[in-house]
């Protein structure tokens, strides 16, 4: 929550989204959770983030990993034991409710990719070129693509694969 709040604050204070995202994902030791914070930042800031979102939407592994995130973010877990009443949020400028109200809690990278097709042609062409490179790397989808072994099974492998693709996509876009 702190990393997410810090990133949003920097963008809202005028720092370029690309620089904020680069700081978040720049460390290879960062976990997949930090990568998803970067996804949250680019999804939350809409048109300002169109250039920053291209490497993310052009990474099939990340598209798969992020597809159900909005659903998971909005599932309310029943409080059978009444423990929520004991939770106290730290005092600060960001609250859990303010973070939950962001656009990123409602949309996924896939949603942005679908909408991007109606955007500026240079943006569409950059994303398309990167996705075509991914097709070359992974092969065309087929009837078994949802359970394909070409996408790493374990989270560490997924993170390493996504890091590699984002680095390649950032250089290529």
DSSP label of 80: T
Predicted confidence at residue 164, as pLDDT, reads 63
Distance between CA 37 and CA 121 in Å, rounded? 28
Going from the C-alpha of 140 to that of each of 5, 131, 136, 151, 153, the distances in angstroms are: 38, 11, 8, 13, 19
Predicted confidence at residue 163, as pLDDT, reads 59
Q: At what angle do helices 50-57 and 155-172 cross, to 10 degrees?
A: 130
Distance between CA 114 and CA 8 in Å, rounded? 24
Is there a contact between 7 and 24 (Cβ–Cβ < 8 Å)? yes
Distance between CA 96 and CA 80 in Å, rounded? 21
Going from the C-alpha of 20 to that of each of 9, 58, 93, 99, the distances in angstroms are: 10, 19, 19, 17
What pTM value is reported for the model? 0.69
Query: Please, what is the end-to-end C-alpha distance for the chain in angstroms?
Result: 29
Query: Per-residue pLDDT for the chain (173 aa), expressed as one digit of tens each?
Result: 788 888 888 998 999 999 999 888 887 777 777 888 888 888 888 877 888 889 888 888 888 888 877 777 767 778 788 887 777 766 666 766 766 777 777 888 888 888 887 878 888 899 989 988 888 888 776 666 654 444 444 444 455 556 566 666 666 55
């Amino acid at each position: 929550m702190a990393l997410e709040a810090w990133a949003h604050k920097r963008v809202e204070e005028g720092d370029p989204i690309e620089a904020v995202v680069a700081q978040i994902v720049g460390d290879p030791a960062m976990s997949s959770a930090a990568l998803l914070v970067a996804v949250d930042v680019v999804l939350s800031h809409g048109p300002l983030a169109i250039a920053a979102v291209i490497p993310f939407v052009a990474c099939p592994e990340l598209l798969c990993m992020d597809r159900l995130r909005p659903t998971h973010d909005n599932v309310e877990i029943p409080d059978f034991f009444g423990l929520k009443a004991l939770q106290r949020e730290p005092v600060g400028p960001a609250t859990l409710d303010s973070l939950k109200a962001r656009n990123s809690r409602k949309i996924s990278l896939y949603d942005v990719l679908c909408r991007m097709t109606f955007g500026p042609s240079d943006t569409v062409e950059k994303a398309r070129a990167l996705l075509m490179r991914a097709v070359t790397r992974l092969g065309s989808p087929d009837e078994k693509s949802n359970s394909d072994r070409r996408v790493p099974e374990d989270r560490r492998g997924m993170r390493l694969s996504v890091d590699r693709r984002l680095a390649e996509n950032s250089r290529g876009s």
